Structure 1
Amino acid sequence: MTKQNQIFALLKSIAFIASYLIFGAILAQLKPFFPPQYERYAQGLVGTAGVMLTVGLFLKLEKKSLRDYGLNWEKSTFSKFSIGLLLGIVLAGGMLFSQISFSDLELVLNDEVSLFPFLLWSLAFVPLAFMEEVAFRSYPLLKLNQAFGFRITQIILAILFAVYHMLMMWTPEASLLGPGIWALAYALAAVRSGGIALPTGLHFGLNFVQSVIGGQKGIDPIWTLDYPANVSESAIEANNQFGIGLHILLLICCIIATEVYVRKQKA
């Protein structure tokens, strides 16, 4: 592709994400009409409505179909979502328990939380994951991949996903080490499966594990993850460095998987 086409692809992708943010900000004015305890559901539903308005706008402008953006429903959609969910739980759970084994962190059962209400509130992360996967791993992924190839697309989308979380008031370090790296895994899941069902399940699985241990606001966790009262500052810092190391390991795995995918596509 020419430089001009690449620039257009990048600008269109950014415009798609920006439109999602604009529509979401407008529709967010409806959130006060929801009871406070449903804030997560309200955020997910409002965001999903915003991203689907964006999809509708771009479908009309480019005279495309949902299938062109990888958003059509197929017989394998639910099974791909389930595989992604299982993969997300295994990856996030493995990282969690390796960190617990390494550090002084303790898991304490929260006796005041029942399983069924917890699962009900956790389902709010399905639309939250879905809206972000549509915003970043549908139209933008396809456009950028066609224009730049998958290696460069991974870098661009990881940066955009990290910046998006910075706009959501995340710190730059947390945005780059968390969503910025996981964006590589989500995009790999999208291109390998041919749609957003698998990465949406992966995304939801990660958020679900975080909600189980209190890593998500607005949901009472099944377990509480914390340090004992007498833990030293050096132990906390060592654990933080270990957590960063886990994400660096995930980054390396994603880079290797990206390279393997690109070479297989060329072959």
Structure 2
Amino acid sequence: MGWKVAGFLVLCAASVTAATVLVGMFAPPWASKDGQAWPVVALAALFILGSTRLCLRMEGRRAVSFRPRFTHLAIGLASGVALVGLLAWALMLAGVLYWQPNRGFSASLMLSGTAYFCCAVLVEELVFRGYALQRLAEGVGSRAAVALLAAAFGGYHLLTLGTSPSVKAGGADLLWVAAGPAIGAIVFGVAALRTGGIALPVGLHLGWNWT
């Protein structure tokens, strides 16, 4: 199973690279007007979906249905939004969080940001909670599969977000960049295996990130 998962992850990396190059070459200026790379992740999601179907076909398996399970998706979204709201409220009561208007907010920024989060979450869930998780679970068991991909998910965020100016100093901030997503990945992974699909983890992930 290991080589199949590794091959799938290579295809995913190639999908993101190809999407980045194609969007950079052909996307109209308005696509990146607000600085949101949503066309890249949207195209990458389509490529990764194709990679998933290719891997399943090469194994002689039936292509999985990606028809959304709207009940699972809705429950996940509501739960993710509620968790962020409760956390923000608790931090406000503790005097840690203070609310102030965001002067740079605009309707177009919200639309492009929402498109980005929807597509980025779909990419991450297809990569870490789709084909790879199912194949690993068959090979090493559900718990080990969730743990391995949670560690990989944390490492992925460390690589992509660890150079942010807010965490360049390292320490606890840098640790949280990896630990936070890894903890979330355990929840998402269990949700994916329990429901047999990615609708619930997509909802949870999107509800948290977008809110």
Identify the TM-score tier after normalising by the shorter chain: 0.7 to 0.9
Q: Tell me the residue number matched to 1:157.
A: 149
Alignment of 1:17-166 (within 5 A): 17-32=9-24, 33-34=26-27, 35=29, 36-37=32-33, 39-67=36-64, 71-73=65-67, 77-110=69-102, 113-114=105-106, 116-117=107-108, 119-121=110-112, 122-166=114-158
Specify every segment of 5 or more residues in structure 2 that has no aligned partner in the other structure, as ranges. 164-173
Verify the 8 A CA contact 1:88 1:205 in the aligned structure 2. yes
Query: Which has more radius of gyration?
Result: 1
Q: What is the distance in 1 between the residues matched to 2:66 and 2:62?
A: 8
Name the amino acid aligned to 2:57: K
Q: How far is the alpha carbon of 1:119 from its aligned partner?
A: 4.3
Q: What is the distance in 1 between the residues matched to 2:91 and 2:110?
A: 24
**Residue deviations 1:66-116 (CA, integer Å, cap 9, x gap):** 32xxx4316xx12211111111111122222222322343111235635x5
Cα 1:80–1:58 shift into 2, 3 Å:
same
Q: How far is the alpha carbon of 1:127 from its aligned partner?
A: 1.4
1:178 aligns with 2:201: no
Name the amino acid aligned to 1:53: G
SS in 1 for 2:50: helix
Q: What is the distance in 1 between the residues matched to 2:161 and 2:50?
A: 24
- Aligned residue pairs total 195
Q: How far is the alpha carbon of 1:193 from its aligned partner?
A: 2.0
SS in 2 for 1:14: helix
**Residue deviations 1:17-70 (CA, integer Å, cap 9, x gap):** 221012211221022233322633213213212312321321232122232xxx
Counting aligned pairs with the same residue, the percent is 28
Q: Structure 1 length normalisation: TM-score?
A: 0.66
Q: What is the distance in 1 between the residues matched to 2:43 and 2:156?
A: 17
Specify every segment of 5 or more residues in structure 1 that has no aligned partner in the other structure, as ranges. 1-8, 210-267
